[in-house]
């Protein structure tokens, strides 16, 4: 091969590498969601565990609890839409994650009810972009992954992804 052939091949390989890098960057960006309270959702598994931890460790004052309840009562629970996200029908991993997220936003970010509500809705869309049926708990979906219209399991120490 001539030098010119090597140069053309090298340029083609470089162009493919650059295109691949842009595709990876676009995919990574599509997998993150920034909330109105400035929190970024980027890792379902890690953040589910983190938020469940907040649910167990953060104690709200009565005033803060009122904000949480106001925010989440306005949202049907994705897994059992005849209940609100404030109560859900049970303490599944999805419910615990959104409760912990809410507690964190209220205590650490000073979020109001509207911001907590929006962040909870963003979280639900992030963990299952295709949406939830609203009847997961009643059709045996408690131990399915969020992305599969599930509750993520019932054991906070072993969430289902």
What per-residue confidence (pLDDT) applies to 33? 82
CB 65 within 8 A of CB 51: no
What per-residue confidence (pLDDT) applies to 38? 83
Distance of CA 34 to the CA centre of its chain: 10
State the DSSP H helix or E strand holding residue 120, giving kind and residue range, or none if neither: helix 113-127
CB 109 within 8 A of CB 39: yes
What per-residue confidence (pLDDT) applies to 3? 63
What per-residue confidence (pLDDT) applies to 7? 47
- pLDDT in single tens digits along all 161 residues of the chain: 666 554 454 444 444 333 333 333 333 344 788 877 789 999 999 999 999 999 999 999 999 999 999 999 999 999 999 999 999 999 999 999 999 999 999 999 999 999 999 999 999 999 999 999 999 999 999 999 999 999 999 999 999 99
């Amino acid at each position: 091969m001539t030098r010119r052939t090597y140069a053309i091949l090298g340029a083609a390989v470089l162009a493919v590498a650059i295109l691949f890098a842009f595709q990876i960057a676009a995919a990574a960006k599509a997998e993150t969601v920034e909330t109105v309270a400035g929190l970024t959702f980027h890792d379902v598994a890690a953040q589910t565990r983190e938020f469940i931890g907040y649910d167990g460790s953060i104690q709200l004052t009565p005033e803060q609890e009122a904000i949480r309840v106001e925010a989440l009562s306005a949202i049907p629970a994705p897994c059992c839409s005849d209940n609100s996200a404030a109560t859900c029908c049970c303490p599944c991993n999805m419910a615990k994650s959104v409760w912990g997220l809410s507690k964190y936003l209220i205590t650490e970010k000073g979020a109001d009810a509207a911001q907590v509500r929006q962040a909870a809705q963003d979280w639900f869309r992030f963990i299952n972009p295709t949406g939830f049926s609203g009847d997961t708990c009643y059709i045996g979906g408690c131990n399915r992954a969020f992305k599969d219209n599930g509750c993520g399991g019932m054991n906070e120490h072993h969430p289902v992804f």
